[in-house]
Amino acid sequence: MHTLSNSKLRPRPITNPTLLCAVVIRSTMILPPRTSVTTYDKSSTTPNVGFVSSTQDKLPSSLFGFYNETGVSRVRQEFNLLGKGIKVGIIDTGIDYTHPALGGCYGPGCRVAFGHDFVGDSYTGENDAAPDNDPIDTCNGHGTHVAGIVGANDLDKNFTGIAPEVTFGAYRIFGCSGSSADDIIMKAMEKAYLDGMDVINMSLGDNGWPGSPSSMLADKLSLLGMAVCAAAGNEGEKGIFEVGAPSLGRHAISIASVDNSMILAHSIQLGDSHYGYTTTSGKSFDIEDSYIVPISSTFLPDNDGCNPIDMDLTGKVALIARGGCIFAIKVEHAQKAGAVGVLIYNNNFGFLTPSAQSPNVTIPCGGLSQEDGKSIFNNAMDQQPKKKYTFLKNDMGFTTPTSGLISSFSSWGLGPDLSVKPDITAPGGLIYSTYPMKLGGYATLSGTSMASPFVAGIVALLHESRGSGRSFKSDELRTRLINNAHPVSPLDMDVPESVARQGGGLVDIYQAIKSTTSLAPEHLRLNDDPHGSPDHQYTFTITNKDRMEAEYSISHLASASVEGFEQNAVSHIVTPLSKPRLIPSHEADAKVTIPVPVVKLRPNDSANVTVQIVPPPVNPAFPTPSIYSGYMVIKKEGVATETLYLPYAGLTSSLSSLPVLLMNESMPFVFGDQIQRASNAPVLITFQLAQASELVMVTVVDANNATKSYGWIPGGSSSFVGRSDLKNPTDVYTLPWYGTVVTVRELAVSDLGSSSSFLYGDKAFRPYAFAASIGDTEAMKKAVPTGDALPPGAYRLQVMALRAFGDEHVLDHYDRWTSPVIIVD
């Protein structure tokens, strides 16, 4: 349940049926890294993410293979770029500056030379901050991990970040757990700018809009010369239009994630074969050797281990498939059958780190990839006599089956206004980096939280390539990164991933530095059909910044189109798909015409190129709106060849035609039909949003004339409201009404809204907002502004949600629902 606020909201599920409304003081939650703390199965929505690794003398260089693919290794070798003299601000949970890889000290002359703690350890986003001058991170780890990706320097361990000689600013805006407020985040952004940071990293955010406060400040600071790198979000399984703020800022760099090529994992050995497994504790099994026994005779059975196990597992490790029930149940059943440990293999691609937290679980639990699970399963079926596996104490690097693919958790774009977001992609899945010394020193985490600092480090190298910080204008820098990236493809497809998933593609620092060509704009925003170019013509400019004449060829590369909505067969309501589907047919591609496919330019000359991009026709096989996208490919011919990619994206039909307010037999609804002021008990209005809305209002109207409005209910006006998870009936917005109104909309806005930004990582770190129980009338009253009492009589409540591209002053641009009659005594 949620209260409405004057800023962006993210719906949160209710875990207690007695809860009425979530109340957060304009909080912004950090995007928690996807850590080993939890993973997900059919009973959970939190994806697997990693583990805290054990310390080793030397790390395998293959663990950082993406340094080659993104050009980092090459610019080190050819240009000796290490980030020296560049200042990078980390707006996060602080930095454990005692870590040797991060300099070991704080203050002038140290690597962490700037910073401030705006909140204190105990701050959760729901209580008062206790700021101080020491931004150390000892209890969370997220900010320390982020800082290490940017610029750790541990030569003894063979681990360096992207820019190992940068100077850090640590701006702590989160406590040991919880969320943070918009005003605190914005203070940190401003201080980072005043401290002279050349780039800031913001691995945080929430469902927002380009007009959200943090997005607007990110734009302002970017235009003043400080680059803003921001994580796109970890809502990859919530469908399209889920990129978060502040990365939605027009001038901010929004960063999506691909999975790393290697993972450091615990190891099991059988003969010459090694199998990697991960644990939430970061510790390997305290077992020297053991049989590993499948509890089922078939591979990947349904509900494996969800019922009591009728076999003797005494002294053995049980092999169980993921799915059907929570991990703790599987482990408890194996434990009761005598198992000394449990290995759960994935039913999807990728590694798995199962969290089996339960007071009843006393044996270790680890996770395997599906591939390794199948190999161990086949060994058990084939080998006679059975052989024991050795559980090694040293971790090893293992190839990840999802290497180079867009991470499953990475949020889909576009922006809610069809702006082209995310901008760029970087490694964020299964990333090894620093962690607070008290928490083990190093960790492997996943999330767009990890992809964003990868790009922040690359921005530092770009600045250094010109000799000083803020040497690039932020828009020039952002354009270089987008247009010199390389699009990546989805599994088993010969076309690039949607631009709505990857932006320009995988970042390439070498090409961004070496390129002598610039494009403007950095992408083509096609919008939907009613709001795009009437003749479908779009113009971009090519500029030759080389000292020689250059010839450019222009071609088209279509990306996979994306089916993002589904239509209910009974109600015919169009709602978002939680898992968008790539459309394999080229009939869903745009029709692109390039009248002038070759352009010759003298040094420092520019040319405008106009292309026609016609949306694909509505296909009966895909009747709901879909995102089509692709790239204009600009190739510089000759000796010094280079290839640039200009992304474009649009929606096949009108976004404003899609319903925003869910209206069916169960939504919206009002709990109660009478307000007796003497009892101090409210009526509750509850609704869900099928799409995000720039403005949602709840007004009081006459019982017999809905056009006669008395004003807004207190708390009944909110901007930038995120959509609900329609598959979760408890993921709703709720407001109490006490029979009062306010007649000025600005006074109807509550400062106590559920608008939280969070760390883009493991959702186990994401706190739930304080919730008042239905009986706690004082808490509910504090959640909304006061108002003037209406005279006794009959009234109705009206919920109004503004559709996309709507004019807030035009009544027909709203979805409206009017309640049954409510009597006020």
pLDDT, tens digit, 9 for 90 and up, residues 36-91: 222 222 222 223 333 334 445 677 777 788 999 999 999 999 999 999 999 999 99
Is a pLDDT exceeding 90 seen at residue 400? no
State the pLDDT at residue 379. 93
State the pLDDT at residue 357. 79
Please name each of the domains of the chain with its CATH number: 19-29+659-751+779-824 (no CATH), 61-261+404-483 (3.40.50.200), 264-394 (3.50.30.30), 517-657 (2.60.40.10)
Q: How confident is the model at residue 22 (pLDDT cuts 50, 70, 90)?
A: very low
User: Token pair for residue 528?
Assistant: 């939907």
Helix, strand, coil: what percent of the chain each, to 5? 20, 35, 50
Give the three-state DSSP class for 519.
strand
Helix (H) or strand (E) holding 552: strand 550-558
Sequence letter at residue 497: E
Is a pLDDT exceeding 50 seen at residue 657? yes
> For residues 64 and 324, what is the distance between their CA atoms, to the nearest angstrom?
35
Is a pLDDT exceeding 80 seen at residue 207? no
State the pLDDT at residue 677. 76
Q: How confident is the model at residue 355 (pLDDT cuts 50, 70, 90)?
A: confident
> For residues 763 and 47, what is the distance between their CA atoms, to the nearest angstrom?
8
Is a pLDDT exceeding 60 seen at residue 753? no
Helix (H) or strand (E) holding 805: none
State the pLDDT at residue 622. 65
Do the beta carbons of residue 449 and residue 203 sit within 8 Å? yes
Is a pLDDT exceeding 60 seen at residue 3? no
State the pLDDT at residue 458. 98
Phi, psi of 326 (to 5 degrees): -70, 155
pLDDT tens digit sequence for 575-605: 888 889 998 888 889 999 999 999 999 999 9
Place of tokens 């058990």: 380
Do the beta carbons of residue 648 and residue 627 sit within 8 Å? no
> For residues 503 and 629, what is the distance between their CA atoms, to the nearest angstrom?
10
Cis peptide preceding 668, ω within 30 of 0: yes
State the pLDDT at residue 744. 85
State the pLDDT at residue 781. 53
Mean pLDDT across 644-667: 93
User: Token pair for residue 661?
Assistant: 């307010």
C-alpha closest to that of 306 among 334, 338, 329, 339: 329
State the pLDDT at residue 76. 95
Global pTM? 0.86
For residue 107, is it left (φ>0), alpha (ψ between -120 and 50) or beta?
A: left
Average pLDDT, the chain: 86
Strands 626-636, 642-651: pairing is antiparallel
Give the three-state DSSP class for 822.
strand
Is a pLDDT exceeding 80 seen at residue 499? yes
State the pLDDT at residue 785. 60
Residues forming beta bridges with residue 697, ordered by sequence position: 717, 800
Q: How confident is the model at residue 28 (pLDDT cuts 50, 70, 90)?
A: very low
> For residues 404 and 401, what is the distance between their CA atoms, to the nearest angstrom?
9
DSSP readout, 669-722? EEE-SEE-GGGT--EEEEE-BSS-EEEEEEEEEESS-TT-EEEEEEEEEEEEEP
Do the beta carbons of residue 232 and residue 411 sit within 8 Å? yes
Is a pLDDT exceeding 80 seen at residue 485? yes
State the pLDDT at residue 701. 95
> For residues 121 and 131, what is the distance between their CA atoms, to the nearest angstrom?
9
State the pLDDT at residue 434. 94
Q: Give ∠ CA 343-348-349 in degrees, rounded to 5.
A: 100
State the pLDDT at residue 638. 78
Q: How confident is the model at residue 25 (pLDDT cuts 50, 70, 90)?
A: very low
> For residues 823 and 638, what is the distance between their CA atoms, to the nearest angstrom?
79
User: Token pair for residue 267?
Assistant: 């190891």
Is a pLDDT exceeding 50 seen at residue 211? yes
Mean pLDDT across 189-204: 97
Q: How confident is the model at residue 362 (pLDDT cuts 50, 70, 90)?
A: very high
Do the beta carbons of residue 137 and residue 80 sit within 8 Å? no
Indicate which residues carry an active-site annotation: 92, 142, 449
Report the C-alpha dihedral over residues 375, 381, 387, 390, rounded to 10 degrees: 30
Length of the chain: 825
Of the ranges 66-80, 632-646, 719-733, 781-795, which one carries the lowest mean pLDDT score? Answer: 781-795
